[in-house]
């Protein structure tokens, strides 16, 4: 295993940016906390605003936060009866919202983060890594994706949703699982590449849907390859960007199930208005050019 400092050092240099984070697995889950640590170790100003409890599968639901129930927050991370929103006692950058993922990131964008940044707004929104994949027909129901879509469409903040196939919900204060460390490293690599590409980080009303495969075959981040994909099949869509010798991008599902050698990360351009693939080849090309330093083609 490697330390978070080594994770950060392994990534190419990127200028420090203000990042709002969220997820749907809960603010105390190991994946999002490990990624938070990696982002801050890399020099970014990350603020986490995520649900007090696991809210997987809640899509774009949104509701006023309520007082925490008698059982307290996830993994005993706050006591029963706690306020509707709150922060870690020793680190105000770690925040819970007792509601849905969309509500959580909305509160982070409009309330929590600006207070910590002297009124400044987030420059980038990152959600996850989700515990479990979000590919194809899963995407509309994912709270991790829902939070990213809110940031991209409503708040007009470039957004990336990360999900990983391996793992079960794990407490923030348990021993950090290997998959959480690997997914944090891979997510940091994608984030760094987008930041290094310059502003605007993504075209308007788009988000990236990124899925990491199982770590059972590949346990070193250098073994993974990044493939540009589609969320949905697009049988009746216009031609995609001309990439890897084709004008039809492979789907996330087909790449995740690909039987060739190697481990493949899928990166899909998402339309924030309907959570499907961006079907504009010119917009796809813009994103490909930003990600080109890390992209590969399937063999």
| Per-residue model confidence (pLDDT) at position 6 | 43
**Token pair belonging to 295:** 């992209």
| Per-residue model confidence (pLDDT) at position 216 | 86
| Per-residue model confidence (pLDDT) at position 207 | 98
| Per-residue model confidence (pLDDT) at position 7 | 46
The helix/strand/coil state of 32 is helix
Q: Given the DSSP bridges, would you call strands 45-51 and 18-22 parallel, antiparallel or unpaired?
A: parallel
Q: Where are the beta strands (DSSP E) in 38-142?
A: 45-51, 85-87, 94-97, 124-131
**Token pair belonging to 256:** 């995740």
**Nearest Cα to 283, choosing from 207, 231, 232, 187?**
207
| Per-residue model confidence (pLDDT) at position 13 | 54
| pTM confidence score | 0.95
Peptide bond into 200 cis (omega under 30): yes
Q: How far is CA 159 from CA 136, 155, 175, in A?
A: 18, 10, 29
Domains of the chain: 4-296 (3.40.1210.10)
CB 48 within 8 A of CB 116: no
Q: In whole angstroms, give the CA distance from residue 244 to residue 258.
A: 16
| Per-residue model confidence (pLDDT) at position 219 | 85
Q: How far is CA 286 from CA 232, 280, 290, in A?
A: 20, 10, 7
| Per-residue model confidence (pLDDT) at position 153 | 98
pLDDT < 50 stretches in the chain: 1-11
């Amino acid at each position: 295993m490697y330390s978070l400092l080594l994770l950060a050092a392994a990534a190419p240099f990127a200028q420090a940016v203000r990042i709002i984070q969220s997820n749907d697995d809960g603010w105390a889950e190991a994946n999002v906390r490990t990624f938070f640590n990696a982002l801050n170790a890399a020099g970014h100003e990350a603020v986490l605003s995520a649900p007090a409890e696991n809210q997987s599968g809640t899509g774009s639901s949104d509701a006023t936060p309520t007082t925490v129930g008698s059982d307290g927050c996830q993994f005993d991370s706050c006591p029963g009866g706690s306020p509707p929103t709150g922060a870690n006692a020793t680190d105000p950058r770690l925040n819970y919202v007792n509601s849905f993922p969309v509500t959580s990131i909305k509160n982070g964008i409009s309330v929590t983060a600006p207070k910590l940044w002297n009124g400044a707004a987030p420059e980038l929104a990152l959600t996850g890594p989700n515990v479990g994949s979000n590919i194809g027909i899963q995407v509309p129901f994912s709270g991790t994706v829902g939070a990213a879509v809110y940031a991209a469409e409503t708040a007009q903040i470039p957004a990336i949703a990360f999900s990983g196939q391996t793992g079960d919900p794990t407490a923030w204060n348990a021993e950090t699982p290997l998959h959480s460390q690997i997914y944090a490293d891979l997510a940091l690599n994608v984030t760094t590449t987008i930041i290094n590409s310059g502003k605007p980080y993504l075209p308007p009303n788009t988000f990236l849907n990124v899925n990491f495969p199982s770590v059972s075959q590949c346990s070193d981040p250098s073994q993974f390859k990044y493939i540009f994909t589609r969320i949905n099949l697009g049988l009746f869509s216009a031609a995609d960007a001309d990439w890897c010798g084709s004008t039809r991008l492979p789907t996330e599902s087909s790449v995740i199930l690909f039987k060739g050698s190697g481990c493949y990360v899928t990166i899909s351009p998402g339309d924030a208005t309907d959570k499907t693939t961006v079907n504009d080849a010119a917009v796809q090309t813009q994103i490909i050019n930003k990600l080109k330093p890390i992209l590969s083609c399937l063999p």
